[in-house]
Amino acid sequence: MASIQPRGKSSFSVVYKHNGRQIWEAFKTREEANRRKLEIEYEQTKGTFVPPSSDTLEAFLAEYVEVYGTTNWAHSSYNSNVALIRNYVNPIIGQWKPRDITAKKNGQVFHTIAVNGSSSAAGTQNRGVDI
């Protein structure tokens, strides 16, 4: 199971073992740490627990395209999807951790793109695409 360890005066870590490895996750408040501890214990009990990965969304999507896209997408769909990921997704949110992506963050990104255009968000020319 998991435990909560204080880290200094203002942060806490949830400590647990997965596949024989000890994993530490840091949180700013005890409440956040306790919420994560309960989530970990619940998922471990159900057998659905997957520890967080330090990979970025860009790395995750590259693996996804390699595993799924190459076998399930037609050639034109593959080229189109890879270009969309490379030109729009990776420059904007490619460095985010998948576990940090929330509906609120996505909404903020969409709002920024709608207000400023895709060129300012993605670093490319605006192609007249409205979101």
For the cut 70, the answer to whether the pLDDT of residue 129 exceeds it is: no
Q: Are 57 and 98 in contact (CB under 8 A)?
A: yes
Q: 94 with 71, same domain?
A: yes
Residue 17 lies in a domain: yes
- Residue 119 pLDDT: 53
Residue 118 lies in a domain: yes
- In angstroms, what CA-CA distances link 64 with 32, 59, 67, 78? 30, 9, 5, 12
The amino acid occupying position 83 is: A
- In angstroms, what CA-CA distances link 81 with 40, 64, 75? 34, 11, 10
Q: 29 with 85, same domain?
A: no
pTM of the entire structure?
Answer: 0.52
Q: Are 82 and 58 in contact (CB under 8 A)?
A: no
- Boundaries of domain holding 16: 3-46
- Residue 131 pLDDT: 36
Q: DSSP 3-state assignment of 102?
A: coil
Under the banding of pLDDT at 50, 70 and 90, the label for residue 11 is very high
Could you tell me which of 31, 49, 32 has the C-alpha nearest to residue 40?
49
- Tell me, what DSSP letter sits at residue 123? S
**78-100: b (≥16 Cβ within 10 Å) or e:** eeebeeebeebebebbbebeeee
- Residue 126 pLDDT: 42
Q: 83 with 113, same domain?
A: yes
Number of domains in the chain: 2
Per-residue model confidence as pLDDT tens digits over 72-122: 999 999 999 999 999 888 888 889 888 778 889 889 888 888 888 765 555
- Residue 115 pLDDT: 85
Q: 27 with 62, same domain?
A: no
- In angstroms, what CA-CA distances link 95 with 12, 26, 116? 25, 19, 20
Q: 36 with 73, same domain?
A: no
Per-residue model confidence as pLDDT tens digits over 26-84: 899 999 999 999 999 998 898 888 777 768 889 889 988 988 898 899 999 999 999 99
